[in-house]
Chains A and B, each alone.
Chain A
């Protein structure tokens, strides 16, 4: 009886697991199959198995028809720059909020918490006007000059997303719970606040840095609404608008699946490598937020 129940539980889990895994597996497997094979395999279990004549043709076609490598490079640059700057900037503010006393601290903290409710969607339209008026600093004929606007650049996709109230709050909560004895001792020894941050707080805060890095990475790699507005040209286009445009041209499904697999690869790799960390950080972030 007990074994039977266990078997039932596993069968049910497998069924639900199939529902959740199918589209992803189907996407990856189809990217290696010629068009006819995709359709021939579609209605059987073969749809999610690497069987038959597997080929890299779809990928070759994608690389030929779309500048996907450029978009991929752009996304890597945008994501890594934002995440690295963000870890630094957000944790620094959180440090002053959680471990230093200064007038106005309470108000700033309340403001940061209140800002968490403004979704990105609510500000993209005015932000577009704002960045269209911001000049970039360029180098021309031996001197710095102000030119153009921020539109169609990499920085327009990086700088607005570095500071993030939710991540500041996650850092704040973690720092707040570290015992104060350490900093007090260091302060007596003449350590500056930055030294305390650098040599005491940061080394003790690995988990929260990992959590924020993962969440920020996911957020940035999947950016869509902002780049389709702020980046019209190809030079600074990231992967998600890239695949949407490719999809809009309605080429073959095999090629679309190859494109989709290619741009999903980095997140999938990070996800599988840091699977446990990934899951626990998201759950933890949810609970505390």
Chain B
């Protein structure tokens, strides 16, 4: 089995990320167990310095994990279709990995989500000299570490499977996308909610989130926990609905073909790599409301940080509104352009 150079590159970035994760986790164990704020013992001072370098390791790991996730997306969408028989995009590549690829992405995204929350809390923690969130941040890093290990393991299995493939076996790529339909009736009605339901759900959830975000940003801070908590729940639902809406309804205007419900084709050069921007915006929009809630929660647990955490929570809600609007404009742009050119919707 000879590995593709891009596989070697992914393994290298993952290995480096894992190295920094392990270093950060090792420090986090000590911080979670022995941290005593306010103490001036040599042990505490040593631990504070170790926590500082542990946080730097975690930031390096976070950066490397973002890099390795991006590189994996590039590999699945633009590199491996060349070596997986019959593959034209990431759909067949993921199918060929026998579930490992999907697992790798799930673990990586989960890990990135936790690391992002940790990163925000770490920034909040740095605003106070006695680092009141140090123990909580250490626990969060310890929570992220197993997912990071699982993500690296699943990625390795994915690459191992792909590099052991027989390049001569024919597979029909688009058949995988169309397999979900049975007969011509099924083509018009894919499994799950209908296109109309998706449009309405997306519209309602987007409106609700913008309202909630605006209230959280401009209104009194007494209800900010309720607002950010509700927004966090809605944003998770919005993320799912938006992904479905993008793939099932809006992507048709990018592909200029009906019923090609493939998310991975959006990452191809013939579609100007729009998938990177659209799914990136989607991810950034989804994580903002949970960030606001975590900040609010940190402010409640440590009153000394209340003002700063409130400011950060408001900023996160504002960022959520911004990313939702940019995503909506970017995703719906081709559809509106189509409507203006031809006077009809594709349905």
* Genuine A/B complex: no
Interface, chain A (partner B; CB < 8 A): none
Interface, chain B (partner A; CB < 8 A): none
